[in-house]
Structure 1
Amino acid sequence: MNTRKLGPFTVSAMGLGCMNLSHAYGQPPSEQQGEKLLLAALDAGVTLFDTAALYGFGANESLVGRVMKPHRREFTLCSKGGMAGVTGDDGVVRRVIDGRPETIRRNCEDSLRRLQTDVIDLYYLHRWDKKVPIEDSVGAMSRLVEQGKVRTIGLSEVSAATLRKAHAVHPLTAVQTEYSLWTRNPEIAVLDACRELGIAFVAFSPLARGFLCDALQDVGTLDAKDIRRSMPRFEPGHYAENLKLLPRYKALAQEAGCSPAQLALAWLLHKRADIIPIPGTTRLEHLTDNLGAAQVQLDSTLVERLEAHINQRTVHGNRYSAQARAEVDTEEFE
């Protein structure tokens, strides 16, 4: 596996997003299946593993902690706080965005316990709590660095302006945001800000939540709890239009001599050396296929045709619902 720089760390050119093993896309796999996939990724040369307190309301961190503890020196561990599950008076666990310093401290302590580690290599603010100045949240994270609980810090789903404010309080190692052929928002300003400030960019959902794998033809088959059901791009009307993009896309993958998933990941790897995709999966064959993208070579002409085919003008529907869009701070295309 080729490597890339993530702040002070040298990591595999692609990491593993661990969310799918516990959260978001319907019924998660068994813990035994999750364990096999984590260890297979490590054996294949993946040295960047990404989780969060939110995923499975702690279950994902517990899984990663249990399975990966014996191998802790072999990889860079990332997690996130500031958005987690909170149990209400009715006993129901709900997602809560809370960037207050005391909450960030508590989230980190809980994550360390679940991950069975003394230190988290890269700790992100999962969402900026807009009720709390970003300087206050990042200040609390900087104290975690001083205390040796985390080595470096980052932000998720923020604008270039917020990024600069945060970086002025404490140097950031990474920004993590959705980025793929069909979600190009980082190209508005954040990618340039990262380059200017020397911050790595970690791309989550690089496979467009399965769309670019050609893995989902009928959105009616999605599990009732699948988060894609709330995303406009996966509403039946929009999705029917988006499916029309796939035949040409698959033809370009065939021309490049790779699978559709590999084409999406290879495109990101070819964009810039400071971009690190973190695709997630629950299946070993998909893991192997994804990692093969590191060997795919794309010529500039094919890249131009690819970008002209799938972009913010040709994709139908927003990436998030109105509520979710209000919770992030990323720039949007008009």
Structure 2
Amino acid sequence: MRRLSVLALSSALALCTPTVFAADDDSASTIAFKAVSPVVNALINADDAQELMDKAEDDELTVLQSLALYLAAAREDPQLSQASYHAAALFARRGDDELAQRYLEEADERGMWFAPVLAEDEDFKDLRQTEFFQQALAHTQARYEKVAAGRVGATSVLQPSRSVPMPACAPVLVWLHGYGINGELDDSDQPLADAGVVLLGVNGTQMRESLDSFAWTGPYESTHRVVQQGLDELAAGQCIDRRQVYLMGFSQGAQHAGALLAQHPADYAGVLLVSPGGWRQPVPTESAARGKRVFVINGEQEGPANQKMSADFRALFGQDNLLKSRTHDGGHSYPQDWQSSFPQAIRWLMGKDG
């Protein structure tokens, strides 16, 4: 897409270039160039409309600069409903209701399907009761139901390497991903399975803005249902030990994994919580888990909210269960040694290693 349409380029530049009243022409040119250059660079160097979208999300850009890139992306790819949607949201944020309506209707016409994102977008808070917004939301919700079917709660399975000795009925480690990603497993996850478990990845309970982006939402019971459904599907193809079902989660997935053990201890044998974090639901204040193994890991450089959630889970499981705890010197991420330390933690959950 290095040869952008002239219309897209001129539209973006017209929107982004400020009107400058200054006696010094050089000063005015410098100010205008600084405002326009990030947009021009993106338009010149982006390979496609999606890359323009990605560049528009740069935190260092102004609202107008991002808006220019979304508009350019919308013109470059008439099928890209996300570009029109983001343009509508930014117009709404600026209080330009007419243009917000125009581009939201364009996104609707292009097949916008990500209803949960639209429904909760604070940029549209003043327009939610309008007829055009309600109509677009209804259409989007209908599309979402079709798109999400078969994807929400979908599973991915990774078996241990053949050299790993396994019982006839295998223990299972259920992997709950962080916000905005998915449960798809690949070769990089093999060290986890080689700890002696069948690794089961599960997509979250809600799709976000792309087909491979999910979140864990609603009550914890909805997460429990999709996990149990995934286990049932796995059990239909091989023998698994339902008494040895362990949970492992990162970020929002860790929050939900901890809640599942607290509320359904008969179904889960232990949990590895890695950097728990989230804002949609509170951490449970009571736990029915007794005698379970719980391992909590978090980074010392994580934000205060995540630090508190890690502390809350340590307190929740600290009295009546066997709790192990670790911090690492990073932030909201895996520790650098995760390929060796996580398998060791998994074996500890199963009572195999110190």
Q: TM-score, normalised by structure 2?
A: 0.30
> Which is higher, the Rg of structure 1 or of structure 2?
2
Q: TM-score, normalised by structure 1?
A: 0.31
Structure with higher RCO (Cα < 8 A, 6+ apart): 1
